[in-house]
């Protein structure tokens, strides 16, 4: 990872406030360590739990002073905005239905925002938030964290360099087993449509798969024909979604996500074929990118190995052959966003390689895709414009 030059130009690290991610939260711990890994942020305030007492205890264990431990996100944003040393950046990791209101309020107060995915639960909200970000000029980072892996960055860079030629075929699948048994999984609010959104599987992991496809190929999903539903007996919330895709350049795609595949851990996988070769990447073995050129031997690309492009090198912190993982990929988004925020705040031009973090436009594309896939599924699988 590049040195934190811009942060140093500002004379200090960014002040970060977190909303959500309290005791027992998988993603809360992930956000906080991601913020810290590359030293772009200091954690100054939090509203960690909807239970004020738990929130206070959690804040203290993280070194947040009691007076900056808030009972809820609204209090946090309003109070921090009123402080001269208030938070620069708000990170939102609450259940999906509250992303919108916290993000809008933070932007209203001139704070930059880092927000968990999916960006919102509805397309209407996504549009409004996207517009808000655009007019505000503030930074909005959406944590589609898989795009932070060095070899995903390498894949994108290879496509950008033309090493695949025109992209023709894409297959992305995200297969998990966390909801293979009847009954709710670990995170129960996700099964409640009011909180988790219309489609559990599409919001939870489908948007990751969709973003990964767009990130690597640089293409949009133009049309979708989908089948979305629940396959485990007794479940209401969607636990699988299959889709056929037509991409913005005419390429074809295949999409398959489920959380009902018994015994599978976290199987996110993508294959991209262009006129000149194919790429394959799997999240469970993230240090290897398979590259199969048209008429030359297949290659294994690794972080910092020969042929690593700058975008991938920036996302790696260690010598070749020393595995990095999920934590570091997540942190890369925070660091990219941090560098961009610091540049904005210090009036300097941002590092072009820092600008590849997912943003509100990506969030809006994600919600459009979810909506279109559900519409297609309800309409007998008809092709539906995204």
Q: Which of residues 264-323 bind a second copy (CB under 8 A)?
A: 264-267, 271, 273-278, 283-287, 291-302, 305-307, 317-323
Q: Which residue from 30, 35, 151, 237 is in contact with a second copy, where contact means CB under 8 A?
A: 30
Told to check if 262 binds a second copy by CB under 8 A, we report yes
Rg of the chain taking only CA atoms, in angstroms: 20
Beta strands 240-247 and 221-229, pairing class: antiparallel
Task: Pull the structure tokens for residue 212.
Answer: 């990964």
DSSP state of 40: -
Judged by CB under 8 A, the residue of 232, 313, 361, 375 near a second copy is 232
- Per-residue binding letters, 138-167, with a second copy (x by CB under 8 A): ---------------------------x--
> In this chain, which of 244, 313, 361, 375 binds a second copy, going by CB under 8 A?
244
Which residues partner with 279 through β-bridges? 272, 291
Q: How far is CA 105 from the centre of its chain?
A: 21
| Structure token pair of residue 268 | 């996110």
Site for a second copy in 45-74 (CB under 8 A): 61
Decide: 255 and 212 in contact? Cβ < 8 Å: no
62-67: list long-range contacts, CB under 8 Å, 24+ apart.
62/32
CB nearer to a second copy: give 110 or 183: 183
By CB under 8 A, name the one of 261, 270, 315, 337 that touches a second copy: 261
Decide if residue 227 touches a second copy (CB under 8 A).
Answer: yes
Q: Which is nearer to a second copy, 122 or 299 (CB)?
A: 299
Place of tokens 């938030």: 129
Pairing type for strands 14-20 and 89-93 reads parallel
Dist CA 60 CA 80 (whole Å) = 17
Does residue number 37 form part of the binding site for a second copy (CB under 8 A)?
Answer: yes
To a second copy, the closest distance from the beta carbon of 104 in angstroms equals: 31
Cβ atoms 96, 198 nearer than 8 A: no
Question: Among residue numbers 110 through 129, which ones bind a second copy (CB under 8 A)?
Answer: none
Helices 207-217, 150-160: crossing angle, 10 deg rounding: 40
Window 363-382: contact mask with a second copy (x via CB under 8 A): -----------------xxx
Judged by DSSP in three states, 23 sits in coil
One character per residue 328-357, x = contact with a second copy (rule: CB under 8 A): x-----------------------------
Give the range of 127-135, 170-178, 197-205, 210-218 binding a second copy by CB under 8 A.
Answer: 170-178
Name the token pair of 373. Answer: 């896939």
CA 253 to chain centre: 21
How far apart are CB 54 and a second copy at their closest, in Å? 14
Q: Which is nearer to a second copy, 75 or 249 (CB)?
A: 249
The CB-of-51 to a second copy minimum distance in angstroms stands at: 18
Which one, 78 or 187, has the nearer CB to a second copy? 187
**Residues 175 to 194 in contact with a second copy, rule: CB under 8 A:** 175-177, 180-181
User: Per CB under 8 A, does 36 bind a second copy?
Assistant: yes
Task: Give min distance, CB of 193 to a second copy, in A.
Answer: 21
CA distance linking residue 285 with residue 316, whole number of Å:
15
In whole angstroms, how close is the CB of 171 to a second copy at the nearest point? Answer: 6
Our CB check for a second copy shows the closer of 196 and 274 to be 274
The distance of closest approach from Cβ of residue 372 to a second copy in the complex, given in angstroms and rounded to an integer, is 13
Of the candidate residues 173, 191, 336, 371, the single one contacting a second copy (CB under 8 A): 173
Interface with a second copy: number of residues (CB under 8 A): 87
Closest CA to 243 of 386, 62, 41: 386
| Separation CA 176–CA 161 (nearest Å) | 32
Give ∠ CA 79-85-87 in degrees, rounded to 5.
60
DSSP 121: S
Q: Quick one: which H or E segment has residue 157?
A: helix 150-160
CA 215 to chain centre: 11
Task: Give 5 or 348: the residue with its C-beta nearer to a second copy.
Answer: 5
């Amino acid at each position: 990872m590049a040195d934190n030059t811009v942060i140093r130009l500002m004379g200090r690290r960014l002040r970060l406030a977190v909303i959500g991610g309290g005791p027992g939260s998988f993603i809360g711990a992930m956000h906080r360590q991601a913020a810290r890994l590359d030293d772009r942020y200091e954690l100054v305030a939090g509203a960690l739990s909807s239970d004020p007492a738990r929130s206070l205890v959690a804040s203290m264990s993280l070194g947040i002073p009691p007076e900056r431990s808030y009972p809820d996100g609204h209090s946090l944003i309003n109070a921090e905005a009123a402080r001269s040393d208030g938070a620069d950046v708000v990170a939102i990791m609450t259940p999906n239905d509250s992303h919108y209101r916290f993000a809008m309020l933070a932007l209203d107060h001139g704070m930059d925002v880092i927000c968990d995915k999916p960006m919102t639960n509805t397309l209407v909200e996504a549009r409004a938030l996207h517009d808000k970000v655009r007019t505000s000029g503030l930074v909005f980072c959406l944590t589609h964290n898989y795009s932070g892996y060095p070899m995903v960055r390498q894949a994108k860079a290879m496509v950008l360099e033309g090493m695949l030629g025109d992209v023709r075929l894409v297959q992305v699948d995200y297969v998990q087993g966390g909801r293979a048994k009847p009954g709710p999984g670990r995170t129960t609010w996700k099964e409640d449509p009011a909180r988790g959104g219309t489609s559990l599987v599409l919001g939870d992991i489908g948007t990751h798969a969709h973003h990964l496809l767009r990130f690597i190929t640089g293409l949009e999903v133009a049309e979708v024909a989908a089948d979305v539903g629940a396959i485990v007996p007794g479940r209401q919330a969607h636990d699988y979604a299959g889709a056929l895709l037509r991409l913005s350049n005419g390429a074809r795609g295949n999409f398959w996500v489920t959380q009902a595949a018994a015994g599978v851990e976290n199987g996110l996988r993508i294959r991209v074929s262009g006129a000149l070769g194919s790429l394959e990447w799997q999240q469970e073995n993230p240090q290897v990118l398979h590259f199969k050129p048209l008429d030359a031997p297949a290659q294994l690309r690794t972080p910092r190995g020969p042929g690593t492009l700058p975008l991938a090198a920036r996302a790696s912190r260690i010598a070749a052959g020393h595995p990095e993982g999920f934590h570091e990929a997540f942190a890369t988004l925070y660091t990219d966003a941090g560098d961009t925020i610091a540049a904005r705040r210090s009036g300097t031009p941002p590092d072009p390689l820092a600008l590849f973090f997912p943003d509100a436009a990506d969030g809006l594309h994600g919600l459009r895709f979810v909506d279109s896939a559900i519409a297609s599924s309800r309409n007998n699988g008809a092709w539906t414009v995204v």
